[in-house]
Structure 1
């Protein structure tokens, strides 16, 4: 009887442990590197400004949902999608052929909005999606995650499997063996198996994920399909050099379109840079400022390793300033300038009519203008060098702005600038050229009224002295708000600390009704006490 009681207690302990795992720990699959996420990539493909969304692949073989968001003025037409696996295994277990394995077509309509197609993925690993419009092809690298079982998850499953197998063994021995004490041996093994499972499940929530291929590691077939292999690096390489940018081609004359070719070069080796990761919904953000101060925010297409291209027509002759914001894997955010920009010769075009510019500073803290039929009011706190300045743009009186590039608003600034008729030359030589974001509301309680800004600048650009909110992705694996959600604004706040007194050029950008609005602002920043 004592033996039977001991076995009963062992079974009770096993049952309690299993109950604790089921109600207190949850699935260990959250620690797996196979969860994946949606990828949103803005592309200036020919004359079209598109946002291409790659929905996460939950299993392979399985579908990849590709959604294309068009904007106002986008021509109808057909896009071809071609998916090609690019990863090759070091052990040659599953070599990728490097040839297209799936194709689809997206038919774009006249109405701006979302259009979609499905491409079938037949394996995990690094891929390239070629998006063509019949003239140009954008090549977007992405990773299809594998369904990987983490080491703690294996222990959880293995422990419960061992306990399940030993349970009938212990019962049979206790009933039929002459010495029922032998039943304690499999019972003890059963308890040990459950203990291992519970311990692994409890520890799994605190164990870090391995470096993620594509985001932290150069993706290969090996580190995607087996991220927990012992020969994988434990940390990313955070010492990659900065990027050099060269510019060639472009529009030769005003209003005559041309292709601007951009080459990215590793500053240490001279090799092409082909390890950019998607940052703020683009592989590269290209900022162009024309002679009269008109800003264009474009997203060049990747046409090859280290090679990008953007098709554009310059509206006016003269010098154009150019900078690019990008993230190199292991190198962080970089904002780099082309050394000289590019020059456009005079053509038959008339001079560009820039939008009405808002002037602030020198006692004026509020001004209004009309941009593409939209009433805009810009307000600012007293702009003083060395102190945080809050700039708020109000677009009408309704909360109907759409997130563009994952943000409610963008603020691009350059300065201090001299009184020069050619604004592009002044911007090209300015000590500060920055790019910041107004992130919008969050679901976190107590933070809904606080503005936030994420600043990326160069040279003497200072980080924003602010705190606040951001567009948070929903829980339970749902997708974050995209451009189809028009529920933000009308106020779009930014906070920035201008380090030097002087005159700055600012451009505020938002999206409404699938149209990107750009508000030019001239801001005079007074000298501070320590200037």
Structure 2
């Protein structure tokens, strides 16, 4: 009997593997959507919770990491296909970080826009409302177990009535159904995931190699801001092939774009998330007390392409002081400095960087327990890695769960010898803590 089952089981595995369509770029239907935004003087993360069905209420949590002056935040969800909308608002309290929930309504899957408005600023964030599809292997497992239950009852009834042939037939059906159910369950990790309802279609064959890099235009308005005055940093992205706005960014580590701004000496440091003000255009309001040259680094990911890092610079006019910037750059940090293993890194070799955050009550920010940002002294190089433990977590908790720490560990390889500026960031009580550090990297073969 087992030999007779083998061809059937192989055919079942082939059908299940063939039935799994190619997954389109993006998230699964069970995953939340996260958009970090620096808007109206606040650093927030908007979390759109996953939907299990539509139409239905849509839970949205606004996580205020740096609430700043606070104020009202208006949100409007719009369907791209039919224009249907739902709106709501939360009032973020000044200097009170935390979660601010609201409920919107969604009546269809597919492409949507989430519009944010606060303090005279407006950001429009594109995303897709997805509903998970039941995988075929799961349907097979449940159907096979149902058949096994019916067959078992039939076998018991046949035995009770002393009808051996009937009992034997049902017993054989029970065995076959049970083997099919367990086989489909055991093979499920090897089958392609199902594409959730509402997901964008897979790219055509000509785009399988990815899209071209985006070309940036980075500028500040006004063009030469004075120390202590507010200015706008604008990053415009254009398709390297067509010259049109590159307006196809996807969620990348909890944001559409990550921007790091540092003064040349590193006393000024900001890790921000610009608002989307137009197709391919991202802006953020900043203020610095430090005069002189400033470096800008923008990290993002285009749909059906890999991550990309672009850079630029601007100059702050006049004479300024870095004292206030140094205090602000440390941003709530206290305790011991990071520990390096080896103590003096060598270029081209991995180094382990460990920070003792004091207590095991850290919360994830941008999907990770910690972030390490490294810049070469001349500003020509920027690296960004995540805390090792949280990277290994298959299902990390959301921002409300404080379970990480106290030790944060990073692994990094410095490309060249020299002086590097480093910043470690993590979240505690929803606030972002920044720990600056200076690292001297030796050349290969140099005395330590």
C-alpha deviation, 1:408, in angstroms: 1.9
Counterpart of 1:404 in structure 2 is 365
Alignment partner of 2:429 out of 510, 513, 530? 513
Alignment partner of 1:242 out of 213, 219, 226? 213
Counterpart of 2:444 in structure 1 is 528
- Cα distance, 1:271–1:317 mapped onto 2, change above 3 Å: same
C-alpha deviation, 1:277, in angstroms: 1.5
- Cα distance, 1:37–1:234 mapped onto 2, change above 3 Å: farther
- Cα distance, 1:386–1:157 mapped onto 2, change above 3 Å: closer
C-alpha deviation, 1:115, in angstroms: 0.4
Cα distance in 1 between the residues matched to 2:238 and 2:56 = 36
Name which of structure 1's ranges 198-207 and 499-508 shifts more when overlaid on structure 2: 198-207
C-alpha deviation, 1:240, in angstroms: 1.2
Which runs of 5 or more residues in structure 2 are unaligned?
1-15, 151-165
Kept after mapping to 2: 8 A contact 1:260/1:310: yes
C-alpha deviation, 1:108, in angstroms: 1.6
Cα distance in 1 between the residues matched to 2:188 and 2:394 = 25
Alignment partner of 1:279 out of 252, 266, 269? 252
Counterpart of 1:440 in structure 2 is 389
C-alpha deviation, 1:127, in angstroms: 0.9
- Cα distance, 1:197–1:114 mapped onto 2, change above 3 Å: same
Greater Cα radius of gyration, structure 1 or 2:
1
Counterpart of 1:383 in structure 2 is 345
- Cα distance, 1:503–1:356 mapped onto 2, change above 3 Å: farther
Kept after mapping to 2: 8 A contact 1:250/1:312: no
Q: CA RMSD in A?
A: 4.0
Counterpart of 1:317 in structure 2 is 291
Cα distance in 1 between the residues matched to 2:236 and 2:66 = 30
- Cα distance, 1:211–1:148 mapped onto 2, change above 3 Å: closer
C-alpha deviation, 1:160, in angstroms: 9.7
Counterpart of 1:105 in structure 2 is 89
Counterpart of 1:4 in structure 2 is none
**2:314 matches 1:342:** yes
- Cα distance, 1:471–1:61 mapped onto 2, change above 3 Å: same
C-alpha deviation, 1:50, in angstroms: 0.3
Cα distance in 1 between the residues matched to 2:309 and 2:291 = 26
Normalising by structure 1, we get a TM-score of 0.66
- Cα distance, 1:200–1:292 mapped onto 2, change above 3 Å: closer
Alignment partner of 2:275 out of 274, 278, 301? 301
Task: Report the number of matched residues.
Answer: 406
SS of aligned partner of 1:281 = coil
Cα distance in 2 between the residues matched to 1:196 and 1:271 = 56
C-alpha deviation, 1:65, in angstroms: 0.6
Kept after mapping to 2: 8 A contact 1:157/1:197: no
Q: Which structure has greater strand proportion?
A: 2
Alignment partner of 2:54 out of 53, 56, 60? 60
Deviation sequence 1:305-358 (CA, Å, 0-9, x none): 2111111112222221111111122211211212xx1122237x655534379x
Cα distance in 1 between the residues matched to 2:30 and 2:37 = 22
Which runs of 5 or more residues in structure 1 are unaligned?
1-24, 87-95, 166-182, 358-368, 418-425, 442-468, 474-479
**2:127 matches 1:142:** yes
SS of aligned partner of 1:440 = helix
Alignment of 1:115-514 (within 5 A): 115-146=100-131, 148=133, 150=135, 206-210=190-194, 219-220=199-200, 223=201, 237-250=208-221, 252-293=225-266, 294-338=268-312, 341-346=313-318, 350-355=321-326, 372=332, 374-380=334-340, 381-395=343-357, 397-415=358-376, 417=377, 426-427=378-379, 430=380, 432-440=381-389, 470-473=392-395, 480-514=396-430
Kept after mapping to 1: 8 A contact 2:43/2:67: no
